[in-house]
Amino acid sequence: MAIPIFVSGLLVLCFSIIAIASDPSPLQDFCVADANSTVLLNGLACKDPKLAQASDFSFSGLQMAGNTSNAVGSRVTPVTVAQLPGLNTLGISFARVDYAPWGINPPHTHPRASEILTVLKGCLEVGFVTSNPDNRLITKILQKGDVFVFPIGLIHFQRNVRPGSAIALAALSSQNPGVITIANAVFGSKPDISSDILQKLSRQMRPL
């Protein structure tokens, strides 16, 4: 009798840990973000649901190609809670990514979201790097219609490997996934990271 009780208790504990680790479920039908609220929350305050309109739940613009005339040859058009207030508390967002020929979406990470990406046009090399100490690169060439997932928090990238343009759509598991572009964070921080630190980093990387 003691063993079933122990097993039951262990299962309850496991499910409790899972519940604590996940995002809380919404406590109402929706929570349209109130851009005018001065209340500081882990997220955005809700506006009066009686004032919600269809425009709070819709976004137009993903049919338009992003301008890829930049240093990296790509453009991300995000649809997060900043563009679509009705996403607030729902734990999802979306993006269109356009790539010039040979363009890249440079190594970056989403600190608050996993990402699933599908290719609509062209051919992409995609990949992510596992955490220390292995730092294993997992990469694949995707054709039109292929799908790839980037686990939360891991550095990942995409590269157009064809002379024509490419398009991808991405869904993310947060209404505000955040993005940290590695090169920008290290070499473009405000204020600058100490040059002594960057020099030591450069010496560490030189043998590679």
> Can you tell me the distance from the alpha carbon of 34 to that of 11, in angstroms, rounded to the nearest whole number?
40
End-to-end CA distance of the chain: 60
Look up residue 116 and give its two tokens. Answer: 């699933």
| Strand positions, DSSP E, 16-92 | 74-79
* 125 is an annotated ligand-binding site residue: no
> Can you tell me the distance from the alpha carbon of 25 to that of 28, in angstroms, rounded to the nearest whole number?
9
* 108 is an annotated ligand-binding site residue: yes
DSSP 8-class letter at 189 = -
> Can you tell me the distance from the alpha carbon of 39 to that of 64, in angstroms, rounded to the nearest whole number?
35
> Can you tell me the distance from the alpha carbon of 143 to that of 125, in angstroms, rounded to the nearest whole number?
9
Q: Dihedral sign for Cα 178, 183, 185, 188, please.
A: negative
CA-closest candidate to residue 156, choices 109, 98, 103, 97: 109
**155-160 vs 147-150, strand pairing mode:** unpaired
Annotated binding site for Mn(2+): 108, 110, 115, 156
Annotated binding site: 105, 108, 110, 115, 156
Annotated binding site for oxalate: 105, 110, 115
